[in-house]
Each structure stands twice: as structure tokens, then as C-alpha cells.
Chain A
Amino acid sequence: MAELKVSDVSFSYDNITTVIDGINIELNENELVCILGTSGCGKTTLFNVISGLRVPQKGRVILNGKDITGSPGHISYMLQKDLLLPYRTIEDNVSLPLLIKGEKKKDARQKVQDYFEKFGLQGTQKKYPSELSGGMRQRAALLRTYMFSKDVALLDEPFSALDTLTKSDLHSWYLDVMDKIRLSTLFITHDIDEAILLSDRIYLLKGKPGKISDEITIKEPKPRRKDFNLTKEFLEYKREILAKLYNSRFADNNG
């Protein structure tokens, strides 16, 4: 059964221009699903709807059989910016979701300790975000996301602000962590390589209003080979995705 189900969701900010139209997405347990699309196709709007920050004009968001449309606080959400609070140490940043849920500061701190090593963050507990590199900060942000909900996470271009080397470093770190914690994840990106490298399935979102045009399953087993992104299969996937994205743009140009 799908853990998260987005069915027929449409949204517009002003009831005139539809931003996303009739979106259907399914996320199964332990799955990593990518939503790939060019900028401006409503990816972030879609995430705002799924997380409950925005109420869609049409459609439902179902989490584990429960309707959570328009009600925040069920799904964890991580943005491109790490959004770590500069005035809290890393452990206090990471335990913030637990504090919001009403836990005591001491208990929250205790609970997050176990995960620092799993996330490759050991030794950063007492540091402030400004003392960490961009990659480490993003790791901490993901840990905070995970501390909020161990069911489903939405990641909105989490690695796109990083330089190429840090990014590929974080990709392998990410696959490694995901293997350990098994978090079902919906992942937004505009980076085709990243999508193929990380996901089990990819939805292509395109057009105005944004619609899901295609669904591609990446059959490469996990954990993935170190050189997967250099293989023929990888290139085949990339070719397929490019063709599908390019065709749509071509069609758009003709009206």
C-alpha cells in the first residue's frame, strides 16, 4: 500500500491561474521518489500542499490512509536553504522538532544523540551552524527533518546550493544514510543526474500549469554501484528523460 498518496491535486494562488493541475503521486514505504521539473513548474507549490501549508482547491493528500489535506505537522519538510538557527547549537537545532512536539529540552537532547553518528555528524553537537561547512549544515538539516517524522520526508532541492564536489559527496552520504534509516522520501530536483542517481522512481513535472507527464522507474538495485553515473544504463535513463522534457518544450513552442 502506498504510504503517501496525492490524488488529483490542483492548486492556484488566486483561483484564476492554476499552478499545478491534477497531480497524482504515490510514495511507497522506503521508497525514494523524485519530482523532476524545470523551475517555475510548481514543484515547491506542490510540496507546500503536501506538507499542509497550503490547501488545494481540488484533490486530497492521504498519509497512511489518513486524510491530511491542509493540515501541517505530519510530514517533515526540508528546504534548499539549511535554515539552521544561528543562535542554537547543532544539537539544539536538531532537537527543535521534538521541542515543538512538547518534549522537554533535556529529553529532546538525549534522543537526538544516537543519530549524530548515523548521520556522520559526530563531534558537532555543541557547535554553532556558522562553524560548519555547507555540506555538514545540510546533513544537520536532514537530521532535523528526520527527527520530526520518521515516516515521510519532503526534500525541496536539498543539495542544489552546494558546489559540485560537495554535492556528489553528499549524494553518496545520502544514499548511505537512507540505507540505514529507511525514510520514505519525496525529493524535488531540477538536476537530472541527481534524480537518476538517487531515486527509485521519477515523476516528470512540466508545463504551465504543472502536470505530471511521465513516470520513470530506475531499475538499478540499491545500494547502487559507485560508478553508476558512468554506466550505459545511466546514460540511457538520462537520454529518455531529456527526450521527454525536450519534447514537451518543443510542443509548448508550437502553441
Chain B
Amino acid sequence: MKKKLLNTTNKLLWPSAAILIILILWQAVCSAGIVQKFLLPSPIDIAAAFISDFPLLLSNSSVTLAETFIGLLLGIVIGFLMAVLMDRFNGLYKAFYPIVVITQTIPTVAIAPLLVLWFGYEMTPKIILIVIIVFFPITVGLLDGFRRADGDMINLMRSMGASKMQIFRYIKFPGALGQFFSSLRISVSYAVVGAVISEWLGGFNGLGVYMTRVKKAYSFDKMFAVIFLISVLSLILMWVVNILQKKCMPWEKKK
């Protein structure tokens, strides 16, 4: 127990120290007037802006987070269904896998205004964009996991007379869980960023809208405050995924 505690402190100690040093240097550069204040706010200015605008940031985050969650959920469901179907029917795999890859080469910044044009300024275009971003890692991760299932294991199941559904349920799905959670970790951070980007390009509330507003007002301290908040939100979501993974895969920690 003590050793574990020591380990965590050790793990946290180094990056915390590094971040602290960077912050001190940053503050020093700003205080000494090496960089103009309106170009780069100091960490203390940012903290002050964060605190003074906190209620506004909070209400905007709730909108962004709502979009993120709905988009994530839909993206996971769609990604999962696509992976299952493409694994089950090889024809679908051949037909759709290239298309799935192509969707990822479309720059989000380019497609977001179109989505706004088609679906309006409310949540719909944002959620669609998040779904487009999120389903890809999920589909690819799960497919990879399904396909990695041990051929001998599948043969053994078949020799016991298992149906394809049973092979999926007992072998392929649990075997792909690790892959799924790795993909999900990527997806959650993409989802937050995706929500913010889609808000830049049209909308009434959300962290992205707040960001464009403060940028236009040249309030770079507030700009940094919101960047900080977005990072923290992404980190919290990734942490939640880690906890979920530990809960869903109890055999992993016993290794």
C-alpha cells in the first residue's frame, strides 16, 4: 500500500514539477515585460480571468458537454454496429471500409460550416460532426479486436457446436474490449475538440462560441482560460474512461 502510494506520488511528482517550472518561467517572462501583455497574458492573469468568468464558462461548458455526450453515445453505437456488421459480412467490410477511411480525410473545419448550413445553428450539426469524428476510432478499434480473435479458439467453439452469435458473445466481443477502450480514450478527447470546433462556426452557446467571442474582444486571458478548461474536461473524460475500463475488465489488473 505504502509502496503504491509512493509510486503514484513519484508518477505525479515529475510532470507536476515540470509544469510548475514552465508556469514560473512564463510568469517571469510576462512580469519582466519581455512579451507584451496583450499578446501573451501571464498565468496569474489567466487564473483571474478564469475565476471572474467562471459562471459563464460553466454554463457554456454544460452546452458543449451535452453535445459531446450525445455525439459520443451515438458515435459509439454507430461505430459498434458498423464494426459488428463489417466483421460478420465480409462483403460489407470490402465495400464500406474504404468509405469509412475516406470520411476521416475530410477536414472537420471544412465540413462544419456545411453542416451548419444544412442543419441550422442548434445542436444537430454539432452532434453530427462529433459522430463523424468519433465513430471512426471505435469502428476500426473494434474491428481490429474482432479480427484478432484466436482462430484455434474459434475452432474450439465451433467443435462445441457454438453458433456465430455465441462465438461473438463469448470470444470476439470480450476479446475486443481492450481495443475498444483504447479507441474510446481517443474518441472522448476528439469529441470535446470536435464540439468546440463546430461551435466556432456557428451557434448561440458553448465553449466554442465563448472562444470566438473573447477572441474578437482580444481578451486573450479569457481565451487561455477556456483552453485550459477544455484540456481539463478532456482529461476528466479520459480518466472516466480509465475507471470504466478497470470496472469492465477486472481480469486485467490481476496480471
Residues of A within 8 A of B (CB): 48, 51-53, 72-77, 79, 81, 83, 85-88, 96-97, 99-101, 128, 130-131, 148
Contact = CB atoms under 8 A, between A and B. Distances in A.
Contacts of A48: 155
A101 B177 CA distance: 25
B150 A53 contact: no
A137 to B, nearest CB: 14
B161 interface: yes
Nearest to B167: A100
Given A87-B177, A130-B254, A97 B152 contact: no
B153 interface: yes
Contact of B160 (A73, A86, A87, A131): A73
Interface string B171-183: 1001101000000
Q: Which one of B158, B177, B251 has the highest number of Cβ atoms from chain A below 10 Å of its Cβ?
A: B251
Interface in B205-255: 249, 251, 254-255
Contact of B170 (A75, A96, A101): A96
Nearest to A131: B254
Contacts of A96: 160, 170
B157 interface: yes
A74 B159 CA distance: 8
A110 B175 CA distance: 25
Contact of A72 (B152, B159, B174): B159
A98 to B, nearest CB: 10
B170 A99 contact: yes
A97 B150 contact: no
Please classify how large the interface on chain B is, using the bins under 10, 10 to 19, 20 to 34, 35 or more: 20 to 34
Interchain residue pairs A-B with the least CB separation, the first 3: A73-B161, A77-B159, A51-B159
Given A53-B155, A131-B254, A87 B174 contact: yes
B139 to A, nearest CB: 22
Contact of A81 (B152, B161, B255): B152
Given A72-B159, A79-B156, 11 more contacts: A48-B155, A52-B159, A73-B159, A73-B160, A77-B159, A77-B160, A79-B152, A86-B251, A87-B174, A96-B160, A100-B157
Contacts of B161: 72-74, 100-101
Nearest to A80: B152
Nearest to A51: B159
Given A128-B251, A128-B254, A131-B254, A83 B160 contact: no
A97 B160 contact: yes
B152 A85 contact: no
B166 interface: yes
A85 B249 CA distance: 13
Interface of B: 150, 152-153, 155-162, 166, 170-171, 174-175, 177, 249, 251, 254-255
A130 B251 contact: yes
Nearest to A47: B159
A48 B254 CA distance: 35
A131 B255 CA distance: 7
Contacts of A53: 155, 158-159
A115 B34 CA distance: 78
Contacts of A101: 161
Contacts of B162: 100
A72 B158 CA distance: 7
A99 to B, nearest CB: 7
Contacts of A73: 159-161
Given A83-B150, A85-B170, A87-B174, A76 B251 contact: no
A83 B254 contact: no
Q: Which one of A48, A75, A76, A97 has the highest number of Cβ atoms from chain B below 10 Å of its Cβ?
A: A97
Contacts of B152: 79, 81, 83
Given A85-B171, A85-B174, A75 B159 contact: yes
Contacts of A75: 159
B156 A87 contact: no
A100 B157 CA distance: 8
B168 to A, nearest CB: 12
Contacts of B157: 100
A130 B254 CA distance: 8
5 contacts: A72-B160, A77-B156, A88-B251, A100-B157, A100-B170
Nearest to A93: B170
Nearest to A129: B251
A73 B157 CA distance: 9
A60 B161 CA distance: 19
Nearest to B171: A85
A182 to B, nearest CB: 21
B253 to A, nearest CB: 10
A86 B176 CA distance: 12
